[in-house]
Amino acid sequence: MNGEQRRNLAIFYCQNVPESSEENRQALEKEYKGSVRFYPVPCSGRLEPLHLLKALEEFADAAYLITCPEGECRYFEGNRRAKKRVERARALIESIGLEKERLDIIMGSKGELKGLAKHTGELVDRASGLAPSPVHGNRV
């Protein structure tokens, strides 16, 4: 990926996602040279739409939430609650003219458990198709 296509991402993730230790998070932040910021949460259900919107307002071109597989939340309903909250935030940004693709939720799959690094790579590729956020003006 060339530098012109790199987008700033905020990735919130459930601490129960495979390979999501503090060491793995730090290694990924180093690998992506600050263009990806990670925010671990004890449960994805604790994330409020405001957290996602604040990331878009302050620095991110896109914000994503990675959860454990649906129905596998150790707190029972956390990832289902998170899904509704992300949908609410997507509707909000779409109502003000931003693409809803700037926010998304990625639920793990029971059959194919992916680690944080694999999810991050996929999200970076996905975000490269987005234009820079108009919220931040002409940042370099």
Strands ordered across the beta sheet of 9-14: 36-41, 9-14, 62-67, 103-107
Q: Note the pLDDT tens digit of each residue in 78-121.
A: 888 999 999 999 999 999 999 999 999 998 777 777 899 999 99
Question: Do 43 and 73 meet the contact criterion of CB atoms below 8 Å apart?
Answer: yes
Whether 139 shows a pLDDT value over 60: the answer reads no
Domains of the chain: 3-132 (3.40.50)
Is the pTM above the cut of 0.75?
Answer: yes
Q: What does the pLDDT average to over 4-17? A: 87
Torsion 41-44-47-53 (CA) sign: positive
